[in-house]
């Protein structure tokens, strides 16, 4: 392996960091202080999302507030935040429901999107308020958007069977180029779907896997969780069989582009698969067996978590295996689960009857 070869996580960090710098150049200069301050406790991806959200706020002021109509981004100063009152914030919340972005594309925010943008703005204001750079914080005087509980979308047990069976056998229904493409990707796609359904790992963790991350002897994969924490997740025989078959029928014979030699899952362009590619692949197959459900890789993760809890009744094991790290969860109870207990997850969820 070349000394210059970077891991997937290292490359993602570099890409996100450079992207964030580009976005920060389109924000008021003083905003960089805030993003520097939140760096230790947030991921680069989160900071990018916040930067986009904060930029929307300042563009709203330029477009809708007469005081700032002739402003450019670099003219804003911290004291301008002090000039905003609660009614301005309420108008901004209304604006966020439907607005146009730089490309004049209409953006419609759901409850979740609206809440995230308001959370970003509140965090932004709080930083300058706590540091006594501004004297007021109007975001604290406005009620945040209410989030309603949504039904958890997941595949039922019979739908899991149908999905894997479909991927394994749908080539009989195809002709021409579609059949050629299917045959090229069949074992890879089956391995990815089986892995996602059999371990509950995130799609970003899946595409980040290298060949050496898979321990076939102990049925474990070494993944990098959010925040950079490494963890071993164990898998059952079905996942092992799908991975081994992919290796034997496809990956071992693959030619890769430079820098992609270690990637476990490859695209047809001979480089590491990306998150978007896996998302598209999952949607392509899932709509064939569950057309009324919007199935994504995250929904496969929910499918696994539900099945694991149903089979084990151990909510702390589920939280540990899924790598949950939410302030509302009792993290201290599952953080200390040892390796032997975690191994219980490997064969607990049966995807297809033998």
Cβ 134 vs Cβ 125: under 8 Å: yes
- For residue 276, the cross-strand partners are none
Most confident residue range from 225-239, 312-326, 334-348: 225-239
pLDDT value at residue 353: 77
Judged by DSSP in three states, 99 sits in strand
Per-residue DSSP letter, 185? H
The residue ranges of DSSP E strands in 183-253, in sequence order, are 214-215, 220-224, 230-234
Kindly give, in sequence order, each residue whose CB lies less than 8 Å from that of residue 151, ignoring residues fewer than 6 positions away. none
Q: Residue 226 in contact with residue 12, Cβ under 8 Å?
A: no
Sign, CA dihedral 119-18-297-300, equals negative
Do 227 and 331 contact (CB within 8 A), yes or no? no
Fold held by 157-343 = hpI Integrase; Chain A (1.10.443)
Higher pLDDT, 223 or 311: 223
Report which of residues 105 and 222 the model is more confident about.
222
Please check the confidence at residue 32 and state whether its pLDDT lies above 80. yes
Q: In whole numbers, what is the pLDDT of the chain averaged over residues?
A: 89
In whole angstroms, give the CA distance from residue 139 to residue 117. 12
pLDDT above 50 for 196: yes
pLDDT-based confidence at residue 136 (cuts at 50, 70, 90) = very high
Cβ proximity of 311 and 273 under 8 Å: no
Domain 8-141 class, CATH top level: mainly alpha
What is the C-alpha to C-alpha distance for residues 52 and 263, in angstroms, rounded to an integer? 31
Q: Report whether pLDDT(80) > 90.
A: yes
Q: Please name every residue paired with 99 in a beta bridge, in sequence order, or none if there are none.
A: 107
- Give the span between the Cα atoms of 343 and 335, in whole angstroms: 15
Burial classification of residue 84, based on how many CB atoms lie within 10 Å of its CB (0-12 exposed, 13-18 middle, 19 or more buried): buried
pLDDT at 270 over 90: yes
Burial of 291 (0-12, 13-18, 19+ CB in 10 A): exposed
pTM for the full predicted model = 0.80
Q: Where do you find CATH 1.10.150.130 in the chain? A: 8-141
Q: What is the chain's alpha carbon radius of gyration, rounded to the nearest angstrom?
A: 23
Please state the rounded mean pLDDT for residues 338-351.
Answer: 71
> Could you tell me where in the chain the CATH 1.10.443.10 domains are found?
157-343
The two tokens of residue 94 are: 């209304």
Between 348 and 216, where is the model more confident? 216
pLDDT at 2: 46
């Amino acid at each position: 392996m070349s000394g210059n070869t970077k891991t997937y996580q290292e490359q993602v960090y570099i890409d996100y960091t450079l992207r964030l710098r580009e976005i920060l150049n389109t924000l008021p200069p003083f905003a960089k202080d805030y993003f520097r301050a939140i760096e230790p406790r947030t991921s680069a991806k989160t900071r990018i999302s916040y930067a986009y959200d904060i930029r929307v706020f300042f563009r709203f002021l330029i477009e809708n507030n007469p005081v700032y109509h002739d402003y450019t981004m670099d003219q804003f100063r911290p004291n301008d935040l002090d000039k905003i009152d609660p009614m301005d914030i309420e108008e901004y919340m209304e604006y966020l429901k439907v607005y146009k972005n730089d490309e004049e594309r209409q953006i419609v925010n759901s409850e979740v999107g609206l809440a995230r943008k308001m959370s970003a703005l509140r965090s932004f204001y709080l930083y300058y308020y706590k540091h006594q750079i501004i004297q007021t914080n109007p975001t604290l005087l406005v009620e945040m958007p209410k989030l309603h509980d949504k039904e958890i979308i997941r595949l039922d047990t019979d739908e899991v069977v149908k999905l894997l069976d479909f991927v394994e056998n749908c080539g009989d229904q195809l002709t021409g180029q579609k059949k050629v493409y299917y045959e090229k990707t069949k074992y890879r796609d089956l391995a990815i779907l089986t892995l996602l359904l059999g371990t509950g790992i995130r799609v970003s963790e899946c595409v980040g896997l290298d060949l050496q991350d898979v321990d076939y002897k102990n049925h474990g994969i070494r993944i990098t969780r959010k925040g950079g924490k490494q963890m071993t997740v164990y898998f059952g025989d079905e996942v092992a069989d799908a991975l081994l078959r992919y290796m034997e029928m496809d990956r071992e014979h693959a030619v890769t582009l430079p820098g992609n030699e270690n990637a476990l899952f490859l695209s047809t362009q001979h480089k590491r698969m990306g998150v978007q590619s896996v998302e598209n692949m999952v949607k392509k197959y899932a709509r064939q067996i569950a057309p009324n459900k919007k199935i994504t890789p995250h929904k496969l993760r929910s499918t696994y978590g539900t099945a694991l809890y149903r089979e084990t009744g151990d909510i702390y094991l589920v939280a540990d295996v899924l790598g949950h790290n939410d302030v509302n969860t009792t993290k201290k109870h599952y953080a200390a689960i040892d390796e032997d207990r975690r191994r219980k997850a490997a064969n607990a969820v049966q995807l297809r009857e033998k």
